[in-house]
Every structure is written in structure tokens, then in C-alpha cells.
Amino acid sequence: MRRLSRKKALSLVKELDAFPKVSESYVETSASGGTVSLLAFSAMALLAVLEFFVYRETWMKYEYSVDKDFSSKLRINIDITVAMKCQHVGADILDLAETMITSNGLQYEPVIFELTPQQRLCKFKKIQKFWLREEHALQEVLYKTLLKGAPTALPPREDASMEPLNACRIHGHVYVNKVAGNLHITVGKPIHHPQGHAHIAAFVSHETYNFSHRIDHLSFGEELPGIINPLDGTEKITYNNNQMFQYFITVVPTKLNTYKISADTHQFSVTERERVINHAAGSHGVSGIFVKYDTSSLMVTVSEQHMPLWQFLVRLCGIIGGIFSTTGMLHGLVGFCFDVVCCRFKLGLYRPGEVLNQFSQSLQVRER
């Protein structure tokens, strides 16, 4: 009884088979079918490999929201070299929120302004030419350099030169409120007093004014190794003593979440302007370097995305199934075109002699 019930169950299952098998005796192979099958398998393998490379790639997803964090401090990282002696220049930051002046955290280091050939090749060719000209999008520069860990610091001088120290390197970091402010480097040391601030420039000769400068690094927020910012590597040379350089910066808070790093940093865009101070010609102002920054109310969240495994498998099945279905129709179309060509030009089985022989053989079979 159990055997009979099993046989009935197996027969029922066989009747529900939606993929009936065809006996091999009824299957005929051909050269055209083999060619189409070979092309189909090759296309499947090629597209599957390409799809695997797509699956391995990641992309950046950008989300925008309102920045509600106004109580925290904004960190400014500075590394600027000015072609003047350290005792002749002073740097400070004026915060417009409380008219707060700060210069704590900045260090003055006497250096040589001219770069050696090795330093110039490393700094300008590698940063400006390679990253900022060959890459097509600024965000790609930011995140690719972060993942690759490209160096941003200048290499040390290869020779202990006896040249005079004719420049001042101002570097360090300061914390300010997240509101508009002004970083300025001008003649004289700053003096802080309750009514504002001033720079003592009376004892500095006008002939020593030279605000040629090089921005080795300028960034906002947490300092991440490998990131190249828009002003990194900028060099300005002037031969006028009364030159004013202005940089207008818009800072955007950015949260970066990748598979390798997670940090709170800031992106910024910059507009440059420079002019000669000439009071007689109506061009008023103060000679120096002025970096005016303002923070954006929007925050950008950048997260690294990856294709899920199930989506990769679905796309792979779609590729294989689509090519398999298409090659079936393609095989029929190729066979039809082959038959039409052979019939038109009387080739192969469609030759007149062979056709008559086949017709006579069929008649003889019928008579028997």
C-alpha cells in the first residue's frame, strides 16, 4: 500500500512538471546553433565579469539638512608663509559674533620663502596639476585623496642652505564661533584692547612691505590627513608694496561616513580678489592678506554606498536569462535567413539535383 501511494504521488508530481524533457533522439544539432550558443555563453561570461566589477565599486550619497549645531566651536587650520620677517607681520581673527579677537594657537617661524626644486615639484605639480586639473569634480578630489592618503606637507629642504630667513611661516589652529569672521595678516603685531584691535606698524619701513605669500594648508574643522583643500598650494607673488589679497570663503559643515573613516569636517568654496592700494586713485584699504569666511546653514552628510548582494544576484540572473531568451529567437532568425539565402542561390540542400533525388525517394517510399 505504501508503495502504491508513493507511485501515485510520484506520478502526480510528474504531471505537474512545467519543464517537460525532450528525448535526445528528437534533438538535432547544427553548426549555426553551436555558433550562436558559443556567442551567447561568451556574452554571458563577459557581462557577468563586468557586473562583478560594478558590484565591487562604491559611490557617495549626499544628503542635505539644516545645521542645528551653533554652540560648538569652529576649528581653523592655518599654514601660510608670508615673504616678510616675523617681527614685521601679525595675524589675528576677528569674530563678528562678539567682536572677539583671537590669535592664540598661531606660531611664527622664520623660514626661506623660495622653494627648492624638489619642494616646488612635490607641492605644485602633484597637488595642483594632478589633483585639481585631472580630476573632473571637486568632491572626487576631496574623497579620493582621503582614501589614497596623498601627502600635503612640504618635504624638508635637501640642503642646509645659508640663505637669509626672509619669510615668516604662520601655522597652527584656532577655535572660533560658527559665525562670519575675518582672518587677516597685515603689517605690525596686533594689540588687543576693549574698543577693538590695532596693529603697530609705525616702526616698520614701507619698503619692507611684501605680501607675496604661499598657502600650504588652509582648512576648517577636523584636520584629516590626505585631504587636499581648494587653497592648498596657492602661491601669490607681488612686486607692489601696497597689495591687498582677499579670499571670500563659504564654509559648509560636512559629515563624512565611509568604510574607512568617519569624521566631522568642513568643505568650502572660495573666491579670490587682489588689488593695489592707492589712495590717490580712490583705491582705499589696508595692505595685507584677508580671509573672510562665513558658515552655511546647511549641512551635508556624505556616506559611502555599496550595492547589496541580493541586487547583484538579481541583475546577474537578469543578464543570463535575458541572453538565453534572446539567443533562442536569434537562432530561429539566423536559421530562417540561412534557409532563404540557400533557397535563393540554390546552395546546399536546395540544389536542383538533390531536390529531385529527395522527391523521387519519397515517391518510392510511398509506392511500397
Separation between Cα atoms, residue 318 and residue 3, nearest integer Å: 42
Of residues 27 and 64, which shows the higher confidence score?
64
The backbone torsions φ and ψ at residue 339, rounded to the nearest 5 degrees and listed phi first, read -65, -40
Q: What pLDDT score was predicted for residue 363?
A: 43
**Count of C-beta atoms within a 10 Å radius of residue 291:** 23
The pTM of this model reads 0.67
Q: What pLDDT score was predicted for residue 251?
A: 93
pLDDT value at 162 more than 80: no
Cβ partners under 8 Å of residue 322, min gap 6? none
Separation between Cα atoms, residue 167 and residue 261, nearest integer Å: 37
Rounded to the nearest 10°, the torsion over CA 25, 26, 29, 34 is -110
What mean pLDDT do residues 220-240 have?
83
Give me the amino acid identity at 17: D
pLDDT value at 178 more than 60: yes
Give the start-to-end residue ranges of the domains of the chain.
Answer: 6-56+308-345, 66-306
Q: What pLDDT score was predicted for residue 165?
A: 81
Q: What pLDDT score was predicted for residue 291?
A: 94
Q: What pLDDT score was predicted for residue 68?
A: 85
69-121 confidence digits (pLDDT tens): 878 888 999 999 999 998 889 898 888 766 666 667 889 999 888 877 777 66
Separation between Cα atoms, residue 67 and residue 259, nearest integer Å: 24
Q: What pLDDT score was predicted for residue 359?
A: 44
**Through-space distance between the first and last CA atoms of the chain, rounded to whole angstroms:** 52
Above pLDDT 70, what percent of the chain?
65
Ranked by mean pLDDT, the top range of 37-46, 132-141, 207-216, 244-253 is 244-253
Of residues 203 and 284, which shows the higher confidence score?
284
Q: What pLDDT score was predicted for residue 271?
A: 93
Q: Do residues 175 and 73 touch, judged by C-beta distance below 8 A?
A: yes
294 falls in which pLDDT band (50, 70, 90)? very high
152 falls in which pLDDT band (50, 70, 90)? low
Q: What pLDDT score was predicted for residue 124?
A: 57
313-324 confidence digits (pLDDT tens): 999 999 888 888
Give one word for 149, left, alpha or beta, with left for phi > 0 and alpha for psi -120 to 50. left
Q: In the 8-state DSSP scheme, what is residue 151?
A: -
What mean pLDDT do residues 145-167 have?
61
20-30 confidence digits (pLDDT tens): 666 666 566 66
183-192 confidence digits (pLDDT tens): 989 998 887 7
Q: What pLDDT score was predicted for residue 149?
A: 47
Cβ partners under 8 Å of residue 53, min gap 6? none
